[in-house]
Amino acid sequence: MIFMKNIYAILSFTFLMAITFSEATYAQCTSCDVSDPNIAPNTAYTFAAGKTTCFTAGTTTINGDVSFGDGGSICVGSNATLILSANNYSAINSGTFAIGVQGTLKVNQNPTWSGDMEVTIAAGGKMTANTLTLNGDVMKVTNNGVFEPGTLQFSNANAVITIENNGSMVVTNNLNVSSGVARFINSGDLMIEGNYNSNNVSSYINCGIFNGKFNLNNGGQVINTGTFTTEQIDFGGQTLKLVIMELLILKEPLI
């Protein structure tokens, strides 16, 4: 029992550090190299390499093709809305591109972001998407606010994926980890209205509240220290591990 309490303490400290770092990094959209760019309709736009582009007020819509510059970043301020409606996205070189959301970010269409990405949604921030495919080698999503993708998926076999949900996250269809090594830590409120589809080298750690279905036919690991409510858990692969330390609520029998 002492060992389990130590685990909880370490996890809680990790989450607190993540929240504190995320908020400090993107607070107030400071250190902007480009502020509120004037982007003509249907015009392609490149977020400059190594530069921070800030949106501080009003609503900005980008309908043309988007390029993410090497080591660049976007900051959406608390009073701003950024709408990305491009069909085509490209990553310039291999540096990590960072997106910080204090206000609202809407990702329309069904894009694939192929470069390395770090997305941070701050407390009070909101990000929505339809089908969003993150296909870089290193992908990190930290949600301290509201994150509402339709479908969120990862398909790069070499990817290292980290998802931390400390706020409210609702996936209205499926969350698909078909390739890569993923670690999802939920200390907030997570709802999957479709399926959480894992693979055999990925793990889900629930320290918060989970509602949804879970597909472990391809293996994977689930550790629950919070409240885990599910209508269905599918088992099929031999390389799976299910550890329940707290409350598991089954609405239907295990499959």
Question: Which residues of the chain carry a pLDDT beneath 70?
Answer: 1-28, 236-255
- Rounded Cα distance between 140 and 189, Å, is 18
The H-assigned helical ranges of the chain are: 2-26
Could you tell me the two tokens for 131?
């089908």
Residue 216: the pLDDT is 83
- Rounded Cα distance between 199 and 51, Å, is 36
CA torsion sign for 185, 97, 27, 77 is negative
pLDDT tens per residue across span 222-233: 899 999 998 888
- Residue 243, judged by CB atoms within 10 A of its CB (0-12, 13-18, 19+), counts as exposed
Tell me the C-alpha to C-alpha distance, in Å, between residue 172 and each of 55, 129, 182.
Answer: 28, 10, 20
Residue 19: the pLDDT is 43
